[in-house]
Chains A and B, each alone.
Chain A
Amino acid sequence: MITAAAQERENYLNASHGLKSWFLTKDHKRIGLLYLATITLFFFIGGAFATLIRVELLTPQGNLVSSETYNKLFTMHGVMMIFFFLIPSIPAVLGNFFLPIMIGARDLAFPKLNLLSWYLLVVGGMFSLYAMLAGGVDTGWTFYTPYSTTYSNGYVIATALGIFIAGFSSILTGLNFIVTIHRMRAPGMTWFRMPLFVWAHYATSLIQVLGTPVLAVTIVLLFLERVFHLGIFDPARGGDPVLFQHLFWFYSHPAVYIMVLPAMGVVSEVISTFSRKAIFGYGFVAFSSVSIAVLGFLVWGHHLFVSGQSLFAGMVFSFLSYFVAIPSAIKVFNWTATLYKGSISFQTPMLYALGFIGLFTMGGLTGLFVAALGIDMHVTDTYFVVAHFHYIMVGGAIMGYMSGLHYWWPKMTGRMYPEAWARLSALVIFLGFNLTFFPQFILGYLGMPRRYHLYPPEFQVLNVLSTAGASVLAVGYLMPMIYFIWSLRYGKVAPVNPWGATGLEWKTSSPPPVHNFDETPVVTHDAYDYASLMAEEVEVG
């Protein structure tokens, strides 16, 4: 009976049909799904490159691919994962879909710009992908000069142009979110009643709008230098190659927070829901997002401790880097404190969120190592750094993304996924991840440099462990892919509020109607007010 009723009800998925209704849609929910399909494709392409890298590193000699190919593989892996998967991931899929609903809006402020953003990402992604597969790029995703401007023979400019294009997607999405949060909140949705997911996206959007243009400028300079030999970065013409690193990291360090802040937003929602308790220290968690966004702009120089910047600059950037650690620590402590005396249940989103806290804690704590000047001299450009940033970007950002995807999947699709399989996937990913990346910390401290095709034989055992972990991880990522698709047809029909969560998205039907709500909601409570939610349920039930 419930099934029949749910199927009859008009929602954003069945309201219109045909390709045109999808490719020209202005509905933020449909655009969210377009993003989901796009970045899932990019994720598995980036993952395929990672697989080849890990298989190659099984042996020290380099007998699977040539050095040239290996260098292209890690470049393509980095470019695909960072610019075309991680940067858009949570904001463009889950943010797009849920940010308007969570503040009680009918759509984003600029629906057409939102659609344009998706097209820009697709065009940029395809452009870079084609350039990398057709000609290849071997500069690493960091494009350091003068290698990228003078010495590399690859399709550097074409690849960078794809990133340039996709950058506008990111800028427009951030702009859209900022305006939407400022202008389109439902009556009663004050700033401090907003879910922390929205706060996290507000902070993220600030970075996207303020940081991404610097990346665009940097790419333009790279183009001018490579094509017209202007001498901006070329020392033979009076330029400075290290200037490129400053410009690049001015965007690319804050970009790490574009990836991880939204994941923190997801985790705040999920921890609260599955503890049935308001987030401990709501205000501190909200403001820590904003302070991470601001402080994140002041620490780029910690990527240059051995690049020949001045002693004084090194000290200032190390000092400031430690400041970013504090708001991150505040979040972890507050999430943990939320569990205290909660009512904790262990559905899949919660398992992923707890996994996030564990891995992000380890990633964050190892960040203290690389921020210490004396340690960084030894570990920078080694596998220690590779392990550290994968703990943040995979252990953090992707665990958060998976948590959010499982949390909201019933709302997005109207279907439940198979819970047992999903819990298993969370476990497999957590274990596979640690087995892949923990050995890399040891490798890095031993001194194995990153981006090495050939390596000394004494590093082999740890590399084999890492590759073994990567295969477990690959299984872990394929599982959700299969059961999510399976659930679209065979999954149980999702109720309006399967988790007993607060938040406006759980008050509208699953999947939501075209305009999100049948009538504009009026907000009368703070976020995470489980007492009134349960009182309502008693009244209704």
Chain B
Amino acid sequence: MDRFQLFPVQASTLAPEVDHLLYFLLAVAVFFTLLIFGAIFYFAIRYRRRSENELPHVQHTGYTLEILWSVIPFGLTMVMFTWGASIYFTASKPPNNAIQIYAVGKQWMWKLEHAEGQREINELHIPIGTPVRLTMASEDVIHSFFVPAFRTKQDVVPGRYSTTWFTATKPGKYHLFCAEYCGTNHSGMGGWVYVMEPMDYQNWLSGGAVEGSMAESGKKLFEQLACNNCHKDDNSGRGPILVGLFGKQVQLAGGGSVKADEAYFRESILQPQAKIVYGFEPVMPTFQGLVTEEQLVQLVEYVKSLGPKPGTGPVDNGQKPVPEKSSTAGSTPANR
């Protein structure tokens, strides 16, 4: 029974914002609860039946009252809506300078991988004061990444990437929970988030044996899976050039275009036929079942490392883009 508490710690930039809205809601709720309870108690005593034959006067509907007690609560709820929506909006848009960490949920553990290659299970180390963007995938059922001290929660749905972000504000050790019921050991699927001073974080990152950055692991996979047979650096391959692709608009066969983001890379590896790049044949086989979610995020991180974030305008695929070969180039989120 250690550390009995009534209110959760605030350890992210989001936490005080959420709590301020909570205070407003609490004030409104307490006011109306007291109003209703008070009125009921007062009327119940003041107008208690004093004789069996009493007959109260009939009151006719008071339209003014009805309008008042519809419009005032409605106004208050619109404040709640707007305020809540603005927080939600902020929480849905990761800032551009966020560091990128990947999370994979599976029954019943969280696997986390830093761009530098550090891997953790049920633990996440992050620096204070820097936005952290989590790209999350699930190997099986729906999980939900929940850190109460950050007031943030995001379901991790299999078959797609889910994103969340936070900026920690207070060093410490905070609960990490899975909030979406995921089977037998659901309540055991959690651990700790360690918020560290930036220096400590750097030390932590550089400590321990690491096989290489995520991009390097992705590059190895890229070769093992023979992706490089078709996706070459020049126009000789049967597949589109991947260099410099991340963040660009891709022209699709049959019209339309799509932004080359993580979700697009993921889909193109698992369901290559879903979106065919203009000027290419649908010849790529699926890698569904051949790569795990963890390997997928390494591949994605590798492809991201092949090029800078979007310059201007759509890239005309089939044309030769400017190759940039450095493995951690430009302003990718992985590279701080």
Contact = CB atoms under 8 A, between A and B. Distances in A.
B73 A374 contact: no
A343 B58 CA distance: 12
Contacts of A326: 70, 73-74, 77
B36 A332 contact: yes
Contact of B84 (A336, A346, A376, A442): A376
Contacts of B55: 276, 343, 530-531, 534
B1 A458 contact: yes
A378 B148 contact: yes
Contact of A375 (B21, B40, B159): B21
Contacts of A450: 181
Interface string B15-31: 00110011001001100
A339 B183 contact: no
A37 interface: no
Contacts of A276: 49, 54-56
Contact of A460 (B1, B77, B85): B1
A14 B164 CA distance: 67
Contacts of B158: 146, 235-236, 241
B152 to A, nearest CB: 6
A152 B18 contact: no
Interface in B156-192: 157-160, 162, 175, 177-188
A447 B53 CA distance: 55
Given A277-B59, A306-B144, A446-B8, A372 B80 contact: yes
A357 B140 CA distance: 44
A368 B43 contact: no
A275 interface: yes
Interface string B58-70: 1101100110011
A354 B84 contact: no
Given A146-B158, A339-B44, A311 B92 contact: yes
B153 interface: yes
B187 A453 contact: yes
A29 to B, nearest CB: 30
A319 interface: yes
B271 interface: yes
Contacts of A368: 25, 28-29, 77, 80
A449 interface: yes
Interface string A228-260: 000000011011111000000000000000000
Interface residues of A, number: 96
B57 interface: yes
A64 B163 CA distance: 38
B40 to A, nearest CB: 6
Interface stretch (A20-28, A278-286, A469-477, A516-524): A278-286
Q: Is the interface of B mostly helix, strand, loop or mixed?
A: mixed
Interface in B81-133: 81, 83-89, 91-92, 107
B57 to A, nearest CB: 7
Given A238-B271, A330-B70, A377-B91, A322 B81 contact: yes
Interface in A408-454: 442, 445-447, 449-454
Contacts of A305: 88
A344 interface: yes
B153 A377 contact: yes
Interface residues of B, number: 88
Contacts of B204: none
Contacts of A372: 21, 25, 80-81, 83-84
Given A314-B88, A366-B29, A374-B84, A451 B58 contact: no
Given A146-B142, A458-B2, A458-B4, A369 B25 contact: yes
Interface string A308-342: 10010011001100100110011011101101111
B233 interface: no
Contact of B4 (A380, A447, A449, A461): A461
A343 B29 contact: no
A357 B35 CA distance: 12
A458 B179 CA distance: 18
B48 to A, nearest CB: 5
B288 interface: yes
B88 A315 contact: yes
A378 B18 contact: yes
A140 interface: yes
Contacts of B144: 306, 381
A461 B58 contact: no
B84 to A, nearest CB: 3
Interface in A45-67: 62, 67
A486 interface: no
A485 interface: no
A342 to B, nearest CB: 5
A134 to B, nearest CB: 19
A361 interface: yes
A67 B39 CA distance: 46
B80 A371 contact: yes
Contact of B61 (A283, A322, A339): A283
Given A281-B61, A453-B187, 8 more contacts: A281-B65, A311-B92, A343-B49, A358-B36, A361-B32, A368-B80, A374-B85, A451-B181
27 contacts: A71-B184, A144-B141, A147-B182, A150-B141, A276-B54, A280-B62, A308-B155, A308-B162, A314-B85, A341-B56, A341-B59, A343-B54, A371-B80, A372-B83, A374-B91, A375-B25, A377-B18, A380-B179, A381-B153, A445-B8, A447-B148, A447-B175, A449-B178, A453-B186, A455-B187, A458-B4, A531-B55
